[in-house]
Each structure stands twice: as C-alpha cells, then as structure tokens.
Structure 1
C-alpha cells in the first residue's frame, strides 16, 4: 500500500535570518525530503507582502481584460520568448516531445517578462536568452506592479537556492558563478475560453503535461482547482496552495545537476469545466533558470562509482530546445523517462 500523496508545507523563515543554524538545518532536511519524494513543496514565511501579491493579481486582471486584438499587439517573435501568447499558440506537452495532434491545444493565454541583456552591463549576453521586455502601454498599471513582484520573487529565489545548497551539502557559494546573470522570467497565465468560443473543443487542455526547464519555479496561483501533479507511481493528484503559501517545484536543470536524486516533476493544468465553460484561473510562475552559459552536469557526490550522468548541456541550450518544442517550431528528442510516465498516468485521485 502506497502512502498518501501530499505536497509538504515548509516554513523557510530560518533562511531569512543569519542567526538560526539549527532552524536552517531542519528546513534543509525538509527540503531534501520534498525534492527526493515529490519535487513540489509549498512554502510559508516567504516574506512577500500581501499587498505585493494583490498588485500582481490586479495587474493580471488589467491586462487580460483587454480586447484580444489589443493584447495581440504585444506578441513577440517566438525566438525572444517575451510578451503575449494568445490561446492555442502553445502546447507544453510538445516540450517533452510527447505524441500529440499536430496543433496547439493549450487554451491558456500568457504574458512573459524577464531579465534583459541591459540588466547586466559589461556582459555580452545573447538577446535570445535576455530579450527586451514588451510592456503593454494599454495597461498602465501593469508594469509597476509586475516590476515590484518580480523583484520580490528574484530575492526569494536566491534565498531558496541557499536552502537548496544547504540541503545538498554543498559549499554555500557553489552556485554563485552559475547564477550571477541568471535568466529569470515571470510567466503570467489566464485560463479562460478564447473570445468567441462558448464551449470547449474536446481536444483542448488548460496546460499540457510538462516539466519546468530551470533550477526552480515559484508559483502563485488562485485557489481554484486545476493544477495536477504526477507522483512516482504514475498517478495524477490535484494540488492547491493553502492560503498565503507559494508552490515551489524543481526544473530539469536541478534534476540533471542532482542526477535525478531530486525530481523535476511532471505537472499539468486543467481548470474545472461547468456546463461547457471554464472556471477562470490565474497563475504566475517565476522561473529561476541560471546563467545562459552555465553547464548542467552532475554535482559532486551524486554519481555512484562508474555511473554515467546526463551529458553536459548549457542552461540556454536546454531551455531553447524545449521552448522551440512548446511553440511548435521543432520537435525535441523525446525524453524516455518523462514520456513513459505521462503515457502511463492514471486519472487524478
């Protein structure tokens, strides 16, 4: 008999101070267990003020309420991965090379902002990874609120990395040179039917099954059903954050760095459908991905004698291949482990 599936709640307060060694050690142990067994956790004590989160949600509402033709003015080329993505312009399952119909099925719409090459003067950074943002002038309150939330999420991601480093028993500065010009991005999602559609096409999904690409993801989400996480036994489980908590999950870079000691867990989103209509759901995923030129290879102590780890790959190459897949530009080489788990998955519990 398998144990019940739970996403653990972890209070990271000790890592916001420098005076509680015992508390940090206890939190690091909790994180290690969560990363080994679930790949997801929810955190409290994160110190992002309620008013900052409220500003984020107001900004999402302001932008996504705009007419579709106005929102499409802020669409950017697929190579830049910034700006607006209309409904059915992506299929996240394709980022894994999963078999799918030859069409974009994910009905969410999104807006992405991130670090830009101008944020790191003196470095010759590729615009493909650090593209300029495309702020929507039609939503004047959007940029100030998003800039504020983005800064808080950046700070929190570095605090979490310190906790992760402690959990992996690495020197405190181990990741410093791998993240000092990190590709950070905030993807804001709105799950609602596209304009002019009153009912769902049966082949459409909210957001297809996928893993994230980088080091870690900080997810704020409405407390509306929809997020589903795949456990180690191939079963999907519904997950909602508790009030005031943020969901954290690992990306492929951290799974590869740890030689799968830690899990980059498959997840998907399917908001509830009532009488053919979707109950609206919003989310904002902050991706902490690492430097574009950081090489992902097995960390010290993660390979057994004679064991082969993943082949080395840069952060940018890993991200670019998967983004090209989700946008239907190319088909990534299937990853057998993730593909098999998705295809074998049972219905949500």
Structure 2
C-alpha cells in the first residue's frame, strides 16, 4: 500500500521533496518485487466512483440481446464483449486458439482520433466510442456522463503514476509523458457472470484467463469480492482484495520492456468464487494507459544488462496489435518473445 498524496496535493514547500522521494522509493520497490500495488491518496472523489459503479450496474443489467447491439468487430477495441467471446491467455499464445472461454462480459471506451485533430491518427486504433442508447429504463446520457467523469480521473491518476515512475527510475521527469501525449487509453468495465444453464460442477469457470497487461500501467477499481489472483515470485497464486477506498495498480508489458524486466509485469487472472452453483457477482473497471501508438519503446540505458542484453525496440502500436489479436480475435500471439517465456516459466513454477 502506497499513499501517493504528495504527488496529488501540494504539500509544504519544505517537506514536499522529501515526501515525494519516499513515495517514489516505496512505489519503485513494489514495482521491482511484485508489479502490483494498492494506492491511497489518488484523489478520485467517492461520488465519481459511485457514479461509475451505478453506470456499470445499469448497463450490464440490460438483456443480453440489447447489449449485443453495442458489439464492435474484434479489431475495434470498443463497445460490448459478451461472455465467452475472448481469451486473455491468447495474448501470450498460451492456449489453443479455439478456446474463447473467459466468463466475463465487458464494455470498452477509449481515446478517439477526433480528440487530436492536429494529428493523423489511425481510426482503428483511436476508434470512436460506441456509446449505448437509452431505452427500457436505461439512461444512455447518464451512463456516458458517469463513465466519462471516471475516465478523466483515472487518466489523471495514470499520468501521476508515470511521473512517480520517472522519479523512481531516476530518469528525466518527462520520460513517460513524452510518449503518452496522445496515449492509446482504454477503460474496460467488466461484469463476471456465467452463461445461463452452465453446470459449474463439470468445470472450473475462468472469469479471466492468466495474462499480463499490455501497456504501461493499469489503474483498477474493483468490488470488495474475491476473485483476482496474482502469481507471486514464489510460484503461488495469491488472492488480492482491494482495501476500501484504494485503487489497484499494476504494470504492463511495455514498462517491463523499458526496464528490461527489472520492474515486473505480473501474471494475473480472475477466478470469481462459485456459491451454490453460481458465480458470485463481481465488477471491475480497468483503465489501461498504453502510450502513443507510434512511439518506439527501447530499454532504458540504465537497465541494459551488463552483457548488453535488452528487449528489441518495438512500436507501441505493433505491440498492442499482436496482443489484441490474441485476446479479441482468437489469434495466438506468436511474437510475445521474452514475455511469453517469462509467463511460461512462472506457470511451471506454480505447478
């Protein structure tokens, strides 16, 4: 647990540098040793969080056939995704491409190209949002307002974390900001549920398959319900329960590449508990801060191995495309390289 208040609120001039140095050191240690951390002092108002929760309830409470109208093609990371339409493990090439079996439904919104009229951004990457329409007791305008308010606040927190990362890594303060001024950011609102009629006695339901996140950093709001598990360095899956008022934060693969795995992009999964044959309801909202699609990611000079070892350079756009082709289109990612090897080694250690 790290309190990031010194980076969010102005402290006294005499204490701020000391307080910020403490926060950077604490967060840096968590990034090296775990890759997951809970943060307090993020500054997101309770009313904004309550608005998000209400929006999630209102949308996913609609009939399945209504939600299916909001579905986009797999290459467009927007709109509705029904249960068993994705497999996150395929983003690392870890499952058969025929197994799209993650038992969650989701709704995605993100940064659109029209927000940057001065740039020629690819429409398929910076797609326009598919905001749901009002109807049958669902208020589309209210949903959009609540989700947009949270999207803005989660983005602020993500950018603040990147500023702390720069201090923790002892690199120039704008190191991350320089590659995130038109960042591919996506908010994924998730509802875990099993399809009607599935006999959970016949299989262990997978809420979300084992995977690492793709980008720079993820800011996660989640219910106080079990289900999220993180694979530790001891090869054991550890349950993660968010503390009241805290946000969960984890690193993505791009940060692992930047730091040559000195900072960890940790394998995680979701296994919602089954009670009386039904999955216990669990909601979450993951804000993915992924960076500019055209930015080239290279290992930081201070993180290159003594033998010159480092991740090969890659554009953020190419990296994200391979990951999303796995999770959303069912095409196993064969270019995961060192990332897949790291995950496979971790799974073998876990038995």
* Superposition TM-score tier, normalisation by shorter sequence: over 0.9
Change (3 A) 1:136 1:145: same
Alignment of 1:1-349 (within 5 A): 9-18=1-10, 19=13, 20-100=16-96, 102-138=98-134, 139=138, 140=140, 141-197=142-198, 199=200, 202=203, 204-333=205-334, 335-346=340-351
TM superposition shift of 1:306: 3.0
Q: Which runs of 5+ in 1 are unaligned?
A: 1-8
Distance 1:237 1:150 in 2: 28
TM superposition shift of 1:336: 1.2
TM superposition shift of 1:129: 1.3
Distance 1:166 1:112 in 2: 31
TM superposition shift of 1:188: 0.5
Distance 1:198 1:239 in 2: 26
Distance 1:127 1:332 in 2: 23
Q: Which runs of 5+ in 2 are unaligned?
A: none
Q: C-alpha root-mean-square deviation of aligned residues, in Å?
A: 1.4
Change (3 A) 1:287 1:101: closer
SS at match of 2:179: helix
Q: What is the TM-score with the length of structure 2 in the denominator?
A: 0.93
Distance 1:93 1:198 in 2: 23
Kept after mapping to 2: 8 A contact 1:230/1:267: yes
Distance 1:158 1:98 in 2: 31
Deviation track 1:204-240 (CA, whole Å, cap 9, x = no partner) reads: 4100000000000000000000000001121100001
Distance 2:201 2:209 in 1: 15
Kept after mapping to 1: 8 A contact 2:48/2:150: yes
Q: Which consecutive segments of 4 or more residues in structure 1 shift more than 6 A? A: none
Deviation track 1:28-64 (CA, whole Å, cap 9, x = no partner) reads: 0001100000000000000000000000000000000
TM superposition shift of 1:177: 2.1
Change (3 A) 1:201 1:114: farther
Distance 1:198 1:119 in 2: 46
SS at match of 1:151: helix
Distance 2:199 2:54 in 1: 25
- Comparing 83-92 with 294-303, greater Cα deviation is found at 294-303
Distance 1:49 1:283 in 2: 17
How many pairs align?
Answer: 338
SS at match of 2:185: strand
Deviation track 1:167-192 (CA, whole Å, cap 9, x = no partner) reads: 01011122222110001110000001
Distance 1:318 1:132 in 2: 21
Kept after mapping to 1: 8 A contact 2:192/2:283: yes
Alignment match, 1:3: none
Q: What is the TM-score with the length of structure 1 in the denominator?
A: 0.94
- Comparing 191-200 with 154-163, greater Cα deviation is found at 191-200
Kept after mapping to 2: 8 A contact 1:105/1:203: no
Kept after mapping to 2: 8 A contact 1:92/1:210: yes
Alignment match, 1:6: none
TM superposition shift of 1:165: 0.6
- Comparing 147-156 with 333-342, greater Cα deviation is found at 333-342
TM superposition shift of 1:118: 0.5
Distance 2:48 2:2 in 1: 21
